[in-house]
């Protein structure tokens, strides 16, 4: 958070969101109503100076793409693959960006752009916010077309109360990132939930098998040792130059018995993670994202099959409608950049820990999710 963050009126302003990865920056411009106006994509320059410079360039690019200038922008949100202190606006460690020492990124970018307020957040968390924003808008559109104001396609708790505008409805959501590791971002009642130490949603390190493989975190049999892209690459190493998940699914589709077995075990493990999320926080959606989710529909199908199988022996699970709650991250929208832009809005910033009256400052561990996407 910079000292300049409250200086601009910004009430009806556009906001910019940047998803800053190790090779590219994806940018999104939202209008005051949350509609996506423009996007951009450019290469990331590494190192502290490079990150600030390329983020400034991406901001100017996406604003110019909409025929506007910086005076139209009321706030900027950044999604960073690393350890972030959202309350302070600093990046503490982001190896993929060449940032090893604490970088006051919000302050530096704000200064480079004439004082536009900037917020910084972990990249998995911005993806969760972005997915919620996209699904919420789709739900609101659906609701406005129906007299009964039902947003849902079968999930629980999705009926709007009479008189509540569809725009006020928030879909509770978990974004389950199946990347190098496994972690989830949680959006509840329209707000990002970080937890007191930033560890909310770190389900990758919930042990599920005491006799399972050793995990990088020091425990044994964590969900991550069964579900992640890394676990998949170990179980089914790439042999033909394609990503391991793609080769696995191709071999399984071709009838390879080993591949079918490995795919089934993987799908069951993802389904277990979904079940854990729903039974813990009862979210309406569990959105599959991250590198492995680029498999798309075939992944969704096998995970839903596993959830149906599990529900067959449990009327309790069946009553929760788990298969209907799982969905894929939208592939036609840069969800992380959109989520960053949502967090760049004034009302969202007011909910950051440092701005809540009487709340303790976020502890040093804030935003420890580093390996989700
Ligand atoms: Zn672990």
All structural domains of the chain, each given as residue ranges with its CATH number in brackets, are 14-124+333-355 (3.30.420.40), 130-328 (3.30.420.40)
Q: Give the chain's residues under pLDDT 70.
A: 1-12, 140-169, 346-373
Question: Helix axis angle, 257-281 relative to 297-312, nearest 10°?
Answer: 70
Distance CA 179, CA 291 (A): 5
Handedness of CA 102, 105, 111, 115 (dihedral sign): negative
Q: What is the pLDDT of residue 184?
A: 96
CA separation, residue 41 to residues 17, 32, 94, 108, 169 (Å)? 12, 22, 20, 21, 31
Instruction: Give per-residue burial for 74-102: e unless 16+ CB within 10 Å, then b.
Output: bbbbbbbbbbbbbbbbbbbbbebbebeee
Q: What is the pLDDT of residue 225?
A: 93
Ligand 1 geometric centre to CA of 10 (Å)? 42
Q: What is the pLDDT of residue 144?
A: 57
Ligand 1 geometric centre to CA of 14 (Å)? 40
Ligand 1 geometric centre to CA of 213 (Å)? 10
Ligand 1 geometric centre to CA of 278 (Å)? 20
Number of helices followed by number of strands (H, E) in the chain:
12, 12
Report yes or no: 132 and 139 within 8 Å, Cβ to Cβ.
Answer: no
**Which neighbouring-strand residues pair with 16?**
29, 76
Ligand 1 geometric centre to CA of 221 (Å)? 7
Q: What is the pLDDT of residue 345?
A: 86
Q: What is the pLDDT of residue 93?
A: 87
Ligand 1 geometric centre to CA of 215 (Å)? 5
Ligand 1 geometric centre to CA of 214 (Å)? 8
Report yes or no: 271 and 320 within 8 Å, Cβ to Cβ.
Answer: no
């Amino acid at each position: 958070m910079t000292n300049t963050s409250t200086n601009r009126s910004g009430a009806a302003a556009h906001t910019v969101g940047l998803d800053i990865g190790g090779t590219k920056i994806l940018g999104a411009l939202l209008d005051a109503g949350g509609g996506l106006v423009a996007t951009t994509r450019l290469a990331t320059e590494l190192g502290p100076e490079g990150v600030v410079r390329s983020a400034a360039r991406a901001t100017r690019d996406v604003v110019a793409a909409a025929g506007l200038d910086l005076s139209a922008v009321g706030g900027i949100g950044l999604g960073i693959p690393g350890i972030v202190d959202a309350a302070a606006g600093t990046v503490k460690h982001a190896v993929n960006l060449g940032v090893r020492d604490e970088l006051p990124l919000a302050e530096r970018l704000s200064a480079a752009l004439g004082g536009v307020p900037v917020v910084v957040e972990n990249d998995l968390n911005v993806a969760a916010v972005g997915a919620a924003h996209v699904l919420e808008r789709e739900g609101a559109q659906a609701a406005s077309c129906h007299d009964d104001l039902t947003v849902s396609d079968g999930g629980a708790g999705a009926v709007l109360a009479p008189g509540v505008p569809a725009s006020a409805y928030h879909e509770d959501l978990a974004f389950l990132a199946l990347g190098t590791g496994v972690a989830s971002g949680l959006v509840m009642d329209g707000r990002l939930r970080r937890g007191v130490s930033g560890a909310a949603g770190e389900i990758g390190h919930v042990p599920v098998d005491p006799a399972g493989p050793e995990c990088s975190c020091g425990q044994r049999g964590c969900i991550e040792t069964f579900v992640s892209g890394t676990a998949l690459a170990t179980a089914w190493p790439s042999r033909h130059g394609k990503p391991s998940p793609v080769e696995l699914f191709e071999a399984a589709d071709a009838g390879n018995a080993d591949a079918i077995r490995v795919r089934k075990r993987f799908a069951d493990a993802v389904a277990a993670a979904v079940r854990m999320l729903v039974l813990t926080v009862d979210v309406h959606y569990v959105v599959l994202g991250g590198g492995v989710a680029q498999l798309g529909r075939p992944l969704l199908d096998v995970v839903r099959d596993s959830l149906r199988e599990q529900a067959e022996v449990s009327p309790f699970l069946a009553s929760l409608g788990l298969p209907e709650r799982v969905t894929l991250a939208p592939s036609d929208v840069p969800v992380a950049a959109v989520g960053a832009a949502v967090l760049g809005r004034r009302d969202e910033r007011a909910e950051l820990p440092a701005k809540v009256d009487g709340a303790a400052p976020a502890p040093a561990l804030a935003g420890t999710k580093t390996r989700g996407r």
